[in-house]
Structure 1
Amino acid sequence: MNETVATWQPAHYPRPITVFGSWTPRQLQILSEEVGSSISLAANVILVALILSEKNEVLKSYSRILLLNCVVDVIYTLACATNVLQFEIYNGYFMFINNGFFKDAPMSLLYFLGWFWSWACGLAIYAIPFMFYYRYNLICKGETLTMQKFFLALLMPIIAPTFDAFVLTSSFWGMRDRRELFCQEFLNHPVWVMPNEGIPSNCLLSGDRTDIWLLLFCIGVCFKGTSVYGTTIWFGMNIHRAMKESNKKASRKTIKMQSQLTRILVIQATLPLLTAVMPCMVMLALIVFKINVRGAGLCISGMLSWIPVVNPLSSIFLVSNYRKKLLGTVLRILPKNKYIQRRLDATSHTGKTSHIHPSRQSSTAPARTTGVSGGADIATEGVDIANINTESQ
């Protein structure tokens, strides 16, 4: 376990492939991962602040699950940032190439970091049905999960990826004696050469498709995809039926908020199917059938690094309360140019002249009319913006 990374330098490196001028494929993938991790951390911090400051009762009932999504995304983002992993699949062998801060660390630490990334990636996927399960209890059963039931339900998303990460790391460990020789042969290719660096030597190598540990990992990934989305579809169908009945008695504001939450769940379940599950299935096909496509591993690892970006951005921009509050904050921070100042002055003036929101007017009070076409819409919009600014303050 005290093995250190050995640098191997052949007599001649192949000429590296470059795109967009002098960028190599590895450099582009590293840049993509760094940008994705930065966006994920910033978006999750903003979303946590919006969740904690929200006063709407409907959104507050979902605050626990939204905060859980942020925790899962931050864990996976940290795993991506510390590893900056790149994959290669060649002759049925699977390789992890670490490009993070600890890339020159002892191999024992690299094995642990590989396990941590595998577990965090599995956690992000296994947590998808949990969001639907939480809402299923709210909509279909009319109850909020107690803290005890909440943490008990979290055991499956935590334990299942632990098994996947263990068997993959065991496959890496079983090839530790042949790791350096195989990596020298497999990675001495123009796709993997970087100027002034050569080819990476700090890689973890799994066994091929005959390795029992890698076979168990492949079975676990297939089970993950089918069980996660099978459970998600079942919960989604029951939620949809219950929503159709409850919307007949709910207020327009509640229906609108529930519709926004539904869109969030659909997007958070659909996009990981494209950015995580499908790339993993392609990876398994390359391993099982020993298909060699140079650069395919870079594309797969690049797509997986964007998983934690989906959840916070969809929550911020699809929930109108979050979106308007964030927009109001940004407008106050920006330099006061003339256009923004006129908009803020108009909002302030409208807020002073219209104190009562239409939904709060007495049923016996006569409706206010205007002789100007569209005047009521403008007044209502002004009240909405004024209310948003008041809430933000």
Structure 2
Amino acid sequence: MDSVHQINSYICLVSGITLNSLLIWLIWKKTNGGVRRYSFILLQGCIVDLIYLILASIVQPVILINGGDVLFSQFGIFRYFSRSVNCITIYIWIYAFNFTKFSPLIQFYYRYLVICRERQVSWTNLLPSLLLIILLPFIVAALCSLANDDTPESFQQIEDIFHASQNNYSVALFFPQRSNILLWAACAIIVFDFIVYKLVIWLAYKIWCTLRISLNQITTESRSQVLNKQINFALLVQVFVPVIVSSIPVIYLAHSAITKSGVVTICQLMTIPLHWIPVLNPISTILIIKQYSSSLKCCRKDNQRVFNSTSRATA
């Protein structure tokens, strides 16, 4: 099973770095100066995706459930280190995953200030949204830390339940079924998701209203308005990609933990889709924003034209 995770993470790492680098190049080189400030915030999404992508490939987290007991393990390079090192890396991954999930709030808040308020935005203006998405993942990671059973007796429990030594599982976090704090952590994630997504939808609605009003005041739609609509839609897709990708794993893992009926082999596969979030985000952005997809088509045609000319010259 570890080979499946490693192959999946390497595929995601290579494709994710390639696609995010391509999107960064398109933002810098193929965006006109007049509308660059509207698309500049997309760079933040690329950077967050790259950081999460590299971290997920290094950690390769695995969640195991057996009879209501939950074990966080990993198939990454730190699996052979001590339990404390495994704990720290899993905490970092939990924080990074939730930060990636909440980070579109900054992008929408930035665009709200630029488009709706018509303000020159600095980092101090983004501080409220930045502090919120820094704090919420920290609370989730802290609750997981409180729920973790790292007593000496837990090692024997883990061995009896999951046969960690026999199956070559690293031990990071262990949540026994008697732990109520894990339930609080799950509730906190649901509440935080609701808060962030409600804010994002509200900001997106305000941006759409502003763009519609400005469109009604002129006879033709400007290039910046077209780009703004496409960026707005692309960012909304980035908001819901983590939700869609993680919905099936989360539902299955939650059902397994509650009903105590999880199949260990299937549980090991549930974190594989989470690696694809930084890959799907740039793909959706490039496809939605026509200026970027058209630039790629033009580059492809130019390369094909050069290749044909070279072939005829050498023939």
Bin of the TM-score, shorter chain as denominator length:
0.7 to 0.9
| Residue deviations 1:122-150 (CA, integer Å, cap 9, x gap) | 10111133222222223322224222112
Query: What amino acid does structure 2 have at the position aligned with 1:75?
Result: I
1:285–1:233 distance in 2 versus 1, CA, 3 Å? farther
CA contact (8 A) 1:187 1:200 kept: no
Per the alignment, residue 233 of structure 2 pairs with 263
Count of paired positions: 310
Per the alignment, residue 71 of structure 1 pairs with 47
1:167–1:243 distance in 2 versus 1, CA, 3 Å? same
Alignment of 1:223 onto 2:199: no
Alignment of 1:325 onto 2:295: yes
Per the alignment, residue 275 of structure 2 pairs with 305
TM-score normalised by L of structure 1: 0.70
Higher helix share: 2
Per the alignment, residue 81 of structure 2 pairs with 105
CA contact (8 A) 1:37 1:306 kept: no
Query: What amino acid does structure 1 have at the position aligned with 2:85?
Result: L
Within a 5 Å distance, the mapping from 1:351-362 to structure 2 comes to none
CA contact (8 A) 1:180 1:201 kept: no
CA contact (8 A) 2:30 2:295 kept: no
CA contact (8 A) 2:105 2:129 kept: no
C-alpha root-mean-square deviation of aligned residues, in Å? 2.8
Alignment of 1:83 onto 2:59: yes
1:145–1:212 distance in 2 versus 1, CA, 3 Å? farther
Paired with 1:94 and 1:266, the residues of 2 have a C-alpha distance of 33
CA contact (8 A) 1:221 1:280 kept: no
Query: What amino acid does structure 2 have at the position aligned with 1:184?
Result: E
Within a 5 Å distance, the mapping from 1:227-306 to structure 2 comes to 227-248=195-216, 249=218, 251-277=221-247, 279-306=249-276
| Residue deviations 1:187-207 (CA, integer Å, cap 9, x gap) | 45xxx9xxxx96123122422
| Residue deviations 1:330-350 (CA, integer Å, cap 9, x gap) | 5666795438979xxxxxxxx
| Residue deviations 1:8-38 (CA, integer Å, cap 9, x gap) | xxxxxxxxxxxxxxxxx44323322221222
CA contact (8 A) 1:85 1:100 kept: yes
Higher mean displacement: 59-68 or 291-300: 291-300
CA contact (8 A) 1:176 1:205 kept: no
| Residue deviations 1:217-248 (CA, integer Å, cap 9, x gap) | 21221112222222222222222222221222
Between 1 and 2, higher relative CO (CA 8 Å, sep ≥ 6) is seen in 2
1:225–1:289 distance in 2 versus 1, CA, 3 Å? farther
Structure 1 residue ranges without an equivalent (≥5): 1-24, 343-393
